[in-house]
Amino acid sequence: MVDTAYRGLLISDVDSTFLTQEVIELVADYAGVRDDVEEVTLRAMRGELDFAESLHHRVAALKGLPATVIDEVREQLVPTPGALELASEAIERGWLVALVSGGFEEIITPLAEQVGIQSVLANRFEVADGHLTGRVDGPIVDREAKAMQARFLSAAHGVPRERIIALGDGANDIDLMAEAGLAVGFHPKPALREVVDLVIDGPSLDPVREHLARLDGF
């Protein structure tokens, strides 16, 4: 059964795609472990490490941080040039816009709500007594989960594959790309570059707006 009919689905990774940053690295700054976390993140995005294992390792390094750090990191977010405009235009055209992220819902969702983005799937920090426990709360959002979300939203809202645009940058987005009529790699790592339809190596997501308009016929 179709819940709400949309003209298309724009589904995007968040860290280093919709945002210029990796959210977990911003949090790691407060724990003094950014360099270590950054190295593990890069290796995971290249496909050299299992994503779920790498995320558990990185989150464990944040154990003991006060949960108020989440609010501070949220204020530091820098959207990729053209990202907010792309999301807004897609929504105006009657598209469903979704974010799927190996990052963290507590930080991403408020930004999504400001833009009017209708769907967010991301990980959650486990918090106890006002501090991060060093564990993830709930199932890990990995490459398979991202693809499953695309399939779910497509089926739930009657969007055919040819009207799905997917954006990502790393190996964790490979399965997501397979669900899209147009797979877009934004400064993609080598593993992702091999499987996308469109590579953007420039500073902005504006080229995607051109494809959005072309799909809509204007």
Domain containing 143 — which CATH number? 3.40.50.1000
Nearest to 44 by CA among 62, 64, 24: 24
Active-site residue identified among 3, 13, 36, 206: 13
Q: Is residue 39 part of a domain?
A: no
Query: 26-30, 85-89, 211-215 — which is least confidently predicted?
Result: 211-215
pLDDT for 87: 98
Cβ distance 156 to 3 under 8 Å?
yes
What residue numbers bound the domain in which 145 lies?
9-20+79-129+137-216
Judge whether 15 counts as a catalytic residue: yes
Q: Is residue 195 part of a domain?
A: yes
Tell me the two tokens of residue 77: 């977010």
pLDDT for 2: 52
Judge whether 13 counts as a catalytic residue: yes
Nearest to 146 by CA among 17, 6, 40: 17
Average pLDDT over all residues of the chain: 96
Rounded percentage of the chain residues whose pLDDT exceeds 90? 96
- Number of domains observed in the structure of the chain: 1
Q: Is residue 119 part of a domain?
A: yes
Nearest to 111 by CA among 126, 95, 122: 122
pLDDT for 218: 57
Mean pLDDT of 149-171: 97
Name residue 202's amino acid. G
pLDDT for 3: 61
Interatomic CA distance for residues 118 and 175, integer angstroms: 22
Q: Is residue 2 part of a domain?
A: no
Residues 6 or more apart whose CB falls under 8 angstroms from that of 131 comprise 63, 64, 65, 66, 67
Residues 6 or more apart whose CB falls under 8 angstroms from that of 34 comprise 25, 28
Q: Is residue 55 part of a domain?
A: no
Active-site residue identified among 3, 15, 142, 175: 15
Residues 6 or more apart whose CB falls under 8 angstroms from that of 69 comprise 27, 30, 132
Tell me the two tokens of residue 142: 């990995």
Cβ distance 121 to 100 under 8 Å?
yes
- For the cut 90, the answer to whether the pLDDT of residue 4 exceeds it is no
Mean pLDDT of 139-157: 97
Mean pLDDT of 28-39: 96
Cβ distance 135 to 124 under 8 Å?
no
Interatomic CA distance for residues 57 and 38, integer angstroms: 12
Location of structure tokens 């190295």? 39
- For the cut 80, the answer to whether the pLDDT of residue 157 exceeds it is yes
Q: Is residue 151 part of a domain?
A: yes
pLDDT for 180: 98
Quickly state the pLDDT bin for 1 (edges 50, 70, 90): very low
Q: Is residue 198 part of a domain?
A: yes
